A = this chain, B = another copy of it.
Amino acid sequence: MKGKIMGLRSVEWKDNAIRIIDQTRLPTRLEYIYLKDLRSLRQAIKQLRVRGAPALGAIAALGVYLGIKDARCKDFSALAARLDKITSYLGSARPTARNLFWGLEVMAEAALENKDQPLSRIKKILLRKARGIIEEDRRSCRGIASYGQKLIKDNDVILTVCNAGILATIDYGTALGVIYRAKEEGKKIKVYACETRPLLQGARLTTWELKQKGVEVTLICDNMAATLMRQKKISKVITGADRIAANGDTANKIGTLNLAVLSRFYAIPFYVAAPFSTIDTDTKSGKDIPIEERDPGEVSDMFFRRRTCAKGIKIFNPAFDLTDHRLITAMITDKGIIKPPYSLNIKKKIAKNAHK
């Protein structure tokens, strides 16, 4: 099994289709599925067969190529119209994740830049671009891990939520990548994983991944985090991010805000690890980030043998929450660590990278 995860890739272009690990089957089965058309791709995104902000960026890009590879457009404007359609079709699958839109935008721009090329050439360029995004994600995760591991001390006990690992990216992870890298550096680390209701990505995916990678992990229910902190068992919290606003407000899996508030109360550093592309400077603050509400059935019965509540009970099921930037100790990105004040330091980081 260890061999399996070493070469594991959550998203790949293979046999003229997008091959993904069906994450709804884990941890029971490691099963690959091939997505051959936009409809099944969009459904796989909606059903969380593929998930995780960075992985969504990659799959969006591959999705654009999937949508145009067999297209017969008479000119570029016909292609552009088709790209528009694909972008809104895939972009509406999940409203919160920045990387999804980012992947779609990058592809649309690449097409536009090459509008004078013949269609067959543009198609090739777009496939190369999508593959480039995949490689960029791999590099980016390694960058995050490399900066992040410096923050990790020997014998740290790290709490995390949802899955910000191999399965959320291409093959290394953001929050978990930091842990993998620190372990590779010889640091001894223990992890507590919040199960992450309603869909249990922490229980199903994170504990599975960490175990494969030989990291000591203990599973808890989400409501047990406070007790661990009270008992001084947690030295750091690291989570991923689905979108980061210009002021540092961060949307991530529901339960993240909870951990951020607890961390503040118990004076534990709270880190967000994400590719720099997760920062959306067009979004001023958390108020401007739409939060996806998902099917109440996820709470009442999706994973249960029997209903968890009587029929007809009202259910609130936001998939993400917003963590105020003031609660975040630092952001770990592939362009380096960003500390408060975020509005200023994000701008500086952008300027610095533009000059490179």
Contact = CB atoms under 8 A, between A and B. Distances in A.
A334 to B, nearest CB: 28
A315 interface: yes
Nearest to A1: B310
A305 B308 CA distance: 12
Interface stretch (A56-64, A145-153, A217-225, A348-356): A217-225
B265 A310 contact: no
A27 B307 contact: yes
Given A200-B308, A220-B315, A309-B27, A258 B262 contact: yes
Contact of A316 (B220, B226, B300): B220
A238 interface: no
Contacts of A217: 313-314
Nearest to A197: B221
A195 B316 CA distance: 11
Contacts of A305: 303-305
Contacts of A324: 230
A271 interface: no
Interface string A189-221: 000101111101001100110010000111111
A217 B309 CA distance: 11
Interface string A215-247: 011111111111110100000000000000000
A254 interface: yes
Interface of A is mostly: mixed
A347 interface: no
Contacts of A314: 216-219
A28 B308 CA distance: 9
Nearest to A195: B308
Copies in the complex: 2
Say which size band chain A's interface belongs to.
Answer: 35 or more
B219 A222 contact: no
Given A305-B304, A305-B305, A221 B222 contact: yes
A309 B203 contact: yes
A171 interface: no
Contacts of A255: 221, 223-224, 226
B261 A218 contact: no
Interface string A301-339: 001111111101111111001101000000000000000
A347 B76 CA distance: 83
Given A207-B313, A226-B258, A322-B230, A28 B306 contact: yes
Contacts of A124: none
A112 interface: no
Nearest to A321: B227
A48 interface: no
A58 B137 CA distance: 60
A194 B194 CA distance: 16
Contact of A309 (B197, B204, B258): B204
B313 A223 contact: no
Contacts of A220: 299, 315-317
5 contacts: A195-B309, A221-B317, A224-B255, A303-B305, A304-B305
Given A203-B309, A219-B316, A224-B318, 19 more contacts: A192-B316, A203-B300, A203-B308, A208-B309, A211-B313, A218-B315, A219-B313, A222-B222, A224-B255, A226-B261, A227-B318, A230-B321, A261-B261, A265-B265, A303-B304, A303-B305, A303-B306, A303-B308, A304-B305
